[in-house]
Amino acid sequence: MGLELARSQSPVRLHIRCENCLRESSRLLEPPPGAELPDDPCALAEEGYLDNLPFFCGHCEGVIGRLFAISGGKRYG
């Protein structure tokens, strides 16, 4: 919490809602070496970071999750 790592490779926290039980969970997405993660869900998807992203709901064991928000990652300004 409260990490100040401006311009360094900071992981993005993905907020995911289970398609089955609709509970929210989050997980960290670590940037690949030498790359920065966009802080926009659409950009993340377009760049392929969300492909093959494993999801496992700890509540209902569902495996289908829908990303609804992200936090962290590259900062602008």
Binding status of residue 18 toward Zn ion by CB under 5 A: yes
Q: How far is the CB of 69 from Zn ion (least distance, A)?
A: 17
- Supply the DSSP symbol for 8: S
Binding status of residue 9 toward Zn ion by CB under 5 A: no
Q: Which residues, 33 to 52, sit near Zn ion by CB under 5 A?
A: none
Helical H runs in the chain?
41-46
Q: How far is the CB of 64 from Zn ion (least distance, A)?
A: 9
**Contact, 12 vs 67, CB < 8 A?**
no
60/56 Cα distance (integer angstroms): 9
- Contacts with Zn ion, residue ranges (CB under 5 A): 18, 20-21, 57, 59-60, 62
